[in-house]
Chains A and B, each alone.
Chain A
Amino acid sequence: MTLYEAQKGNSYCIKGLYVEPAITRRLEALGLNDGTIINVLNRKKHGALIVRVRGTRLALGKHISSNIEISEYQEETVDEHEK
């Protein structure tokens, strides 16, 4: 599935970036690599979404999110449980 289909509140694991090379490199520099865990904080029905990745919040447009391949990530909830 792609990030565009992701549900608000869930965590996913990045499987691959299939955007234009220039954007791919920007995303990689921001820390979105294969295997990175990404948490969807907010999303619009047909558009951009807000994700948390490596401790920062990013807004991603539809074009980018629909070209990021992800898989469901079963959260071990280490971070959340510490609360």
Chain B
Amino acid sequence: MNMKNNPHKNTSLKKSDQENHINVACIGNPNCGKTTLFNALTGAKLKVANWPGVTVERVEGEAVYEDTRITLVDTPGIYSLTCYTIEEKVTRQCAMDDDIDVIINVVDASSLERNLYLTLQLLELGKPIVLALNMMDVVKERGMEIDMHRLPEMLGDIPVVPVSAAKRTGLDILLHAVIHHYEEGMEEYILDYPEEIESKIAKLEAMMAAQYPNHSAVRWHAIKLLEDDEEVKQDHPLSVVNIVDRSYEKEIIQSKYAYIEKVVGETLFHKGKKAASTDKIDRLLTHSVWGIPVFLAVMCIVFFLTFTVGDALKGIFETGLAFVSEGVAAVLEGLGVAEWLKSLMVDGIIAGVGGILTFLPNIFILFLALAILEDSGYMARVAYVMDSVMGKVGLSGKAFLPMILGFGCTVPAIMATRALETEHDRRKTMLVTPFMSCSARLPVYVLFSDMFFGDYAVIAAFSMYVIGMLIAIFSARVINRLENGRRAANESLLIELPEYKRPNARTIRIYVWNKVKDYLSKAGTTIFIASIIIWFVLNFGMTGKVENPADSFGAVVGRMLVPVLAPAGLGMWQIGVALLSGVSAKEVVVASFAVLFGVANANSDAGMAVIVENIHSMYPGFGPLNAYCLMLFCLLYVPCVATVATVRKESGSWKFTVGMLTFQLILAWSVAVIVFQVGGMFL
């Protein structure tokens, strides 16, 4: 056996031993509630949302039932055990993993017909399968009924357990079934293909058994060979030319669906009573004319709330921060601590980290709004609504989903491109996603628009989101032009639209808390360290500790950037330092201004006044146009290191990553220069 190519072996799962430990995988269609179930069983807090493609990697967790330890694996949702997308490959590899003892097939009971297709494929693997019939509440709501005796019968007597992952019911019964079924062993397979195919399967099974005696899923492999599956042909080469004269995939699929129709016909009652509320909502939200305006209005509301409600809440943080800052200064004074250490603590760390913390209310509101959008079921509609726009730039509407996630954070957005069908689409989407303003750029916009735009601050900040989106779409269009539409055929939208539902409080809480935690830990790590480094480079120079920051190392480096930044109206060495340090994380742009001017709270009226005064003393003409160019530059220039690392990992290419960075730098500089030069003629 060729061990190198064997996908069963390159896994981190511990082999289950005799001491009551089993490995269980949750497998199912996209959006059927696998992750909700996984969270409920393991107490994990993974992100859940109501659109297909939220989970992109396998995740492990632990559960204990009676005296058995269960390692659960959550997998990306798939419709079929083929291997066209990355998600399918990840899940398929997990399903075939020899160390997986039992598979929980999570099934959305409200769309049984489509979900059972994967079930039939999983049954062919010959592993113990337990069917978790999720969303039974939806089934009841619609007045449908499922025959719980006939269904398991028709699926080869596998345990079928109704659960509600969201309401956490049926979980113990499910775990009990998993353990019991594991000890009991597996069942006979129930679906017979047409005679011609069955005889070929029998021949292939015999050949497989002869050549690979230790193979555990012989029937599955035989069927996959008949489907002309590339991966199977590579893993277990077999000379089958005389048997597999063509691909029998179509017939195999149709036999499966014919069987499913029989199952559904015998087990599902009152199908027609379906509540049509989703269709009613869709009439407006996916309207052929109003769809796009509605989407833009929704995004408008999200950002309006982010700026206004967030700003209203930030007063509390301001008082708290001022209190801490003064308190620490007083205590340090009292202890007689050296002046430099006091400066590091107060002007460096508290100014840098604290200034960023005051933006937490804005971040909180932004993620709350995004969480509600994602959990309601609207996201998948956006892919449909934006399909025509994206079609013009050579991408499918589905590519717009990672871009919206980019409003939150670019790193998960880049990961989400995995749901796209082709590598080409993925790269193109990765290239433009950083132009969607992430939450880290929010503090920069809030600070500079508040300082220079007065009553128009919200508009100035909001315009960054619109410009970012337009530039993303425009760059995709330019790339498409350069490619001369040679890939035009690939831009095919294909996405499932889930039912709308009332956002689940628990789901939203987990989502928002995860984001807030990320933000806080970023403040405590990246921004903390960056603040110390910035404080150091601004307070030390060739002569040691310097009194005037203009003699510091920072100033030396910043001055080198002045000639480059001057045409964009940003010819200040402090801006050079801020932009350079902003590569660690975009919030650091704000933190570095705070450290530069020794402002305890950059996000307060007093703090802003100090910054404006300082900027004016060094750059007398610095006005709204300069501030706007600075915001534009922050929007467009190279993303943070975390994003760069993710792009490198996901694209697997340094060349692509470096190319992307170059493109973004050139674009940021050109746009800022053009806006400053042209704007200067009018103002």
Contacts and interface: CB of A to CB of B under 8 A. Distances in A.
A27 B271 contact: no
Given A28-B253, A82-B270, A54 B114 contact: yes
B282 A50 contact: yes
Which of A43, A45, A61 has the most B CB atoms < 10 Å from its CB?
A61
Interface stretch (B382-390, B446-454, B520-528, B589-597): B382-390
A80 B272 CA distance: 6
B496 A25 contact: no
Contacts of B406: none
Contacts of A25: 80, 82, 84, 249, 253
B378 to A, nearest CB: 13
B268 to A, nearest CB: 9
Which of A20, A47, A78 has the most B CB atoms < 10 Å from its CB?
A47
B113 A33 contact: no
Given A61-B387, A61-B391, A80-B272, A48 B114 contact: no
B380 A33 contact: no
A46 B387 CA distance: 11
A20 B492 CA distance: 11
Interface in A15-45: 19-20, 22-23, 25-31, 33-34, 36, 41-45
A61 B286 contact: no
B283 A64 contact: no
A59 B489 contact: no
Contacts of A36: 257
Interface in A54-79: 54-64, 78-79
A57 B288 contact: no
Nearest to A51: B497
Contact of A79 (B253, B271, B497): B271
Given A54-B113, A61-B492, A26 B84 contact: yes
A44 B387 CA distance: 10
A80 to B, nearest CB: 6
Interface in B104-123: 110-114, 117
A33 B396 CA distance: 23
Contact of A31 (B113, B270, B283): B113
A69 B270 CA distance: 30
B493 A29 contact: no
Given A59-B493, A61-B493, A42 B387 contact: no
B496 A58 contact: yes
A38 B382 CA distance: 22
Contact of A63 (B110, B381, B492): B492
Contacts of A30: 79, 114, 494, 496
Contacts of A78: 272
B502 interface: no
Nearest to A29: B80
A55 B271 CA distance: 9
Contacts of B273: 82-83
B198 interface: no
Contacts of A50: 282, 286, 384, 497
Interface in B90-134: 110-114, 117
A25 B497 CA distance: 19
B279 A41 contact: yes
Contact of A45 (B80, B110, B117, B288): B288
Contacts of A83: 272-273
Nearest to B253: A28
Interface residues of B, number: 45
B288 A43 contact: yes
B546 interface: no
A46 B388 contact: yes
Contacts of B517: none
B254 interface: yes
A23 B492 contact: yes
Nearest to B112: A55
B345 to A, nearest CB: 55
Contacts of B272: 78-83
A55 B391 contact: no
B489 A63 contact: yes
B51 to A, nearest CB: 11
Contact of B497 (A27, A43, A44, A58): A58
Which of A47, A56, A64 has the most B CB atoms < 10 Å from its CB?
A56
Given A26-B84, A63-B492, A80-B272, A47 B387 contact: yes
Contacts of B79: 26, 29-30
Nearest to B493: A61
B397 interface: yes
B250 interface: yes
Given A48-B397, A82-B272, A83-B272, A29 B253 contact: yes
Nearest to A54: B113
A23 B272 CA distance: 30
A23 B79 CA distance: 13
Nearest to B287: A42
A21 B288 CA distance: 30
B665 interface: no
B491 interface: yes
A42 B384 CA distance: 11
B282 A41 contact: yes
A61 B254 contact: no
A48 B271 contact: no
A70 B82 CA distance: 26
Interface of A: 19-20, 22-23, 25-31, 33-34, 36, 41-48, 50, 54-64, 78-83
Interface of B: 79-80, 82, 84, 110-114, 117, 249-250, 253-254, 257, 270-273, 278-279, 282-283, 286, 288, 291, 380-381, 383-384, 387-388, 391, 396-397, 421, 489, 491-498
30 contacts: A22-B84, A22-B421, A25-B82, A25-B253, A26-B80, A27-B494, A30-B79, A30-B114, A30-B496, A31-B113, A31-B117, A31-B257, A33-B250, A42-B282, A42-B283, A44-B291, A47-B388, A50-B282, A55-B271, A58-B495, A59-B383, A59-B494, A59-B497, A60-B492, A61-B387, A61-B491, A62-B492, A64-B493, A64-B494, A81-B272
Given A29-B117, A59-B496, 19 more contacts: A22-B421, A26-B82, A29-B253, A31-B257, A42-B283, A44-B388, A48-B384, A48-B388, A50-B282, A54-B114, A55-B114, A56-B114, A57-B496, A57-B498, A59-B383, A59-B397, A61-B492, A61-B494, A81-B272
- Pick the 8 closest A-B CB pairs, nearest first: A61-B493, A29-B80, A82-B272, A79-B272, A59-B384, A57-B497, A54-B113, A63-B492
